[in-house]
């Protein structure tokens, strides 16, 4: 078997790929694998990727072919690719599009395939039978139009992701145009990758476009991509956001960058219930119900407007009830925005089926090199626990150990060293536990933002931070999502959520927006209690940073 020593990857028959990080071909190989494989672990010298059916279906939906994937693997692999991997890549990628869903006569949906045996197999699947209304031949299955989303979910769990060509209602027309000059006076236009994102999503208005996910780093302008899509679709639009502060930032972006009038933008939140041509709603208000077993009070919003487009901000956070509602929204164009497709509940296949496949993705480091997001250095600082806390940790239950390690009081001393080091910069201290954050706020005499902070007060503090009037903010996980803090250049993470990769994406994103001074390097510090479960969970969070191409330095507090 031929061996090529200058190639950095080893493709193994168990679907894993080992990638050496030290050679000159590492970055090209990493970018190649990002298109069709998932990163599993990333210690210093060897990263492990895994090829999965979903990663291959996303690749196929994004336009890659099995031939291009295999060609990419051959270009980076030391050894010949195992034959079973070749077969699996060809088989899985051929499955996307083998079943097509389109609209037939009498508004009936038709599942069609040239493979009569596949049609016969599906007709005998219990999970599909409740949706089938007929089968006139061994090439077609009729299904209820109301069950379009349910059918797609059932099919992907059977291993056959359907290509949905059933089209969309156009929605109520709404003429909206992007400005060439923002109301703030800055020139405005979509960057090349933003325009490509919109084009990949819309696909010229054909039935092959109109639903899918755009994956871009925080700070790369996902909101601008949505604005491009809204101005392209030109119809009434529903935008779903993570919280009221994010909702109002969306409103400001729309007013600044398009010709929309303020009275044409509605806020549908805990404070207001307006339905306008562009309606901005929060996930919280949509999932509100009076009791655990009662109906969701505001789900009627999905039907109150004749929406031509629904935008899901931070789609990786989509609550389960909104997934269920989205199953009945398949006639509307749907755009998901996210920095990572990783979901902690492993429902990535539901995102694929109900929102749509990945349409566009750019590696974070590529945009960093092009100057669109800030350069970032990621450092884990391992902090010793004081004797008393160490004793408490040793005798604690498994659940209590996490909190004790996360709230290690020695982290305050280390945070103080870092705050003093970056005293001329805008610094965020981010954490999970409110008691810990309150102690930090008192120690630094700094303002604190938590879930209990009133929306008006949050907006005032964020504004003061952006304007440099506040140089240090203590923030809970409410600041993880969709908050525009373009001048934050340092983040100090004192505690997190059980090694969440999606949380790491959002927290890093708080400091990645381009700086007014392009020479400024952003710093992302994670304070981790040494030899505890806090350190164990940090390994999982590190995965996301390494996946995006960041070098992750680990030091002790003595090295600061």
In tens digits, the chain (560 residues) has pLDDT values of: 454 568 999 999 999 999 998 888 988 898 899 889 987 776 668 888 999 999 999 999 888 999 999 999 999 999 999 999 999 999 999 999 899 999 987 778 999 999 999 999 999 999 999 999 999 999 999 998 889 999 999 999 999 999 999 999 999 999 999 999 999 899 999 999 999 999 999 999 998 899 999 988 777 889 999 999 999 999 999 999 988 878 998 999 999 999 999 999 999 988 889 999 999 999 888 888 888 777 887 888 888 889 999 999 988 878 888 888 888 899 999 999 987 777 767 788 999 999 999 998 887 677 877 888 777 788 989 999 999 999 999 999 988 998 999 999 999 999 999 999 999 888 989 898 999 999 999 999 999 998 888 888 988 998 898 888 999 999 887 765 545 555 678 889 898 765 455 555 566 666 666 556 656 688 889 899 999 988 888 776 676 666 666 667 889 999 98
Residue 523: predicted pLDDT? 87
Residue 482: predicted pLDDT? 45
Residue 527: predicted pLDDT? 94
Protein fold of 100-164: Alpha-Beta Plaits (3.30.70)
Asked if domains 192-362 and 368-559 share a fold, the reply is: yes
What architecture does CATH give domain 368-559? 3-Layer(aba) Sandwich (3.40)
Residue 440: predicted pLDDT? 97
Residue 515: predicted pLDDT? 58
Residue 327: predicted pLDDT? 86
What sign for the dihedral angle of Cα 124, 129, 131, 134?
positive
CA angle 380, 381, 383 (to 5 degrees): 140
Residue 217: predicted pLDDT? 79
The CATH label, of 3.90.76.10, 3.40.250.10, 3.40.50.720, 3.40.50.300, for the domain at 192-362 is 3.40.50.300
For the chain, what are the domain ranges? 9-95, 100-164, 192-362, 368-559
Q: Which of 17, 22, 8, 6 is nearest to 81 (CA)?
A: 17
Q: How many CB atoms lie within 10 A of CB 549?
A: 17
Residue with tokens 């199953």: 327
The C-alpha atoms of residue 512 and residue 365 are separated, in whole angstroms, by 11
Which stretches within 422-529 are classed as H helix? 434-444, 455-466, 501-509
Reading the block at residue 45, the tokens are: 């010298």
Residue 498: predicted pLDDT? 53
Verdict on whether the full-model pTM lies above 0.75: yes
Full DSSP string of 79-145: SPPPHHHHHHHHHHHHHTTTSEEEE-GGG-EEEE-S-HHHHHHHHT-HHHHTTEEEEEETTEEEE-G
> Cα separations (Å) of 241 from 139, 217, 344, 377, 473?
41, 17, 19, 29, 23
């Amino acid at each position: 078997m031929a061996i090529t020593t200058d190639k950095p990857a080893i493709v193994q028959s168990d679907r894993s790929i080992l990638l050496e990080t030290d050679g000159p071909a590492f970055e090209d190989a990493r970018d190649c694998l990002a298109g069709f494989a998932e990163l599993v672990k990333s210690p210093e010298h060897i990263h492990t990727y895994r090829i999965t059916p979903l990663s291959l279906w996303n690749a196929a939906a994004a336009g890659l072919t099995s031939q291009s994937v295999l060609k990419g693997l051959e270009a980076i692999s030391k050894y010949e690719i195992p034959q079973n991997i070749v077969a699996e890549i060809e088989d899985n990628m051929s499955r996307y599009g083998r079943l097509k869903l389109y609209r037939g006569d009498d508004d009936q949906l038709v599942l069609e395939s040239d493979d009569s045996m596949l049609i016969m197999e599906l007709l005998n699947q219990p999970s599909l039978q409740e949706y089938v209304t007929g089968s006139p031949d061994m090439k077609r299955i009729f299904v209820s139009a109301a069950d379009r989303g349910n059918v797609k979910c059932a099919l992907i769990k059977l291993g056959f992701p359907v290509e949905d060509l059933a089209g969309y209602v156009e929605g109520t027309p709404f003429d909206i145009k992007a400005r060439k000059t923002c109301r703030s006076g800055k020139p405005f236009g979509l960057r090349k990758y933003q325009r490509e994102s919109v084009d990949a999503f819309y696909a010229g208005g054909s039935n092959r476009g109109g639903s899918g996910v755009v994956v871009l780093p925080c700070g790369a302008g996902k909101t601008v991509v949505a604005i491009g899509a809204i101005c392209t679709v030109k119809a009434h639009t529903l935008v779903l956001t993570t919280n009221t502060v994010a909702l109002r930032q969306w409103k400001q972006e729309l007013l600044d960058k398009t010709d929309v009038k303020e009275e044409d933008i509605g806020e549908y939140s805990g404070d207001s219930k307006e339905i306008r041509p562009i309606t901005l709603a929060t996930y919280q208000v949509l999932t509100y119900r009076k009791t655990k077993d009662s109906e969701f009070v505001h789900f009627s919003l999905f039907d109150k407007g004749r929406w031509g487009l629904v935008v899901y901000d931070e789609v990786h956070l989509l609550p389960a009830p909104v997934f269920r509602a989205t199953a009945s929204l398949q006639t509307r164009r749907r755009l998901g925005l996210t920095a990572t497709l990783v979901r902690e509940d492993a429902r990535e296949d539901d995102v694929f089926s109900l929102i749509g496949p990945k349409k566009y993705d750019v590696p974070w480091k590529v945009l960093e090199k092009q100057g669109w997001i800030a350069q970032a250095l990621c450092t884990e600082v391992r902090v010793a626990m004081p004797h008393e806390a160490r004793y408490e940790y040793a005798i604690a239950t498994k659940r209590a150990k996490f909190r004790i390690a996360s709230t290690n009081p020695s982290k305050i001393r280390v945070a103080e060293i870092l705050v003093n080091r970056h005293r001329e910069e805008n610094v965020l201290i981010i954490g999970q536990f409110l008691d810990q954050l309150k102690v930090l706020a008192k120690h630094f005499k700094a303002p604190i933002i938590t879930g209990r902070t009133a929306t008006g007060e949050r907006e005032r503090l964020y504004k003061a931070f952006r304007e440099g009037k506040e140089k240090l903010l203590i923030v809970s996980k409410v600041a993880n999502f969709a908050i525009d803090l373009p001048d934050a250049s340092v983040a100090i993470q004192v505690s997190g959520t059980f090694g969440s990769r999606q949380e790491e994406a959002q927290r890093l994103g708080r400091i990645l927006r381009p700086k007014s001074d392009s020479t400024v390097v952003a710093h992302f510090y994670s304070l981790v209690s040494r030899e505890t479960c806090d350190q164990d969970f940090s390994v999982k969070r590190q995965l996301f940073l390494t996946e995006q191409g960041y070098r992750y330095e680990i030091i002790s507090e003595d090295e600061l």
